[in-house]
Structure 1
Amino acid sequence: MTKMMYHKSFRRYRKRVLSSLLLLVLSAVMIWEAFFSAIPVNRDASFLLSDIPAYTSSPYVEVNHNIPFFTEEELKSEEYESYSELDYLGRCGPAMAMIGIDMMPTQKRGSISMVKPTGWHLAKYDFIDGKYLYNR
């Protein structure tokens, strides 16, 4: 192999390595952006953190002098229910409902044993009576 052929071969090899590294870096950036980009937040269903009183070891706290944040539209007398779409991670968002007698079921509820809401955990142990420590 002559010196000239060696240099051409080395340049070709170096181009391939640099192209591969560039492709790897671009792929890593795209994957990072897809998985770790900011999760969209629904600003309509929030209020200021400073409005929440400091923790006092009480099991509950009164917020806004017990005056709800409902708008006139939300307080209308008709029953309704509204659910947000799941986000791209499959998590639920805010839900709002005005529940009345008309929305109550008229038949006996069927089995809900196969319903697994977002965040459902089930712990089963042989040494506990009934096998289940918690299901939440």
Structure 2
Amino acid sequence: MNNFELVRTEQVEELNTLAKIYRHIPTGAEILSMENDDENKCFGIAFRTPPSDSTGVAHILEHTVLCGSRKYPVKDPFVQLLKGSLQTFLNAFTYPDKTCYPVASQNLKDFHNLVDVYLDAVFHPRITPDFFMQEG
């Protein structure tokens, strides 16, 4: 993997899993890779979203981000994925200090599609004032 350095490797006996932590050299972003025999292929991306006030903007953005993106400009790709994907898990969560977007599928092609949709959503959201009115 170009631009990544392996930081740590550890066997997690309780999960029968080999865990590896990589760091993206240009940005410092960290990736946790877990290798095991589970049929599910899982992916999640998380961002620090510490609140500056009590307006709930992180939760509103969580929903708004999933209202279409540059590559997938449909109004509600999340609902479309729930209906038409082979996903075994698909969601988003807002915690007090972070926002997470996890997906899982047992089908490799479907998994790659889910990851593509979610990455485009979080890095290229199609945010408009209408979405804020709808979600806020």
What is the TM-score normalised by the length of structure 2?
0.23
Looking at CA atoms only, which structure, 1 or 2, has the larger radius of gyration? 1
Structure with bigger strand share is 2
What is the TM-score normalised by the length of structure 1?
0.23
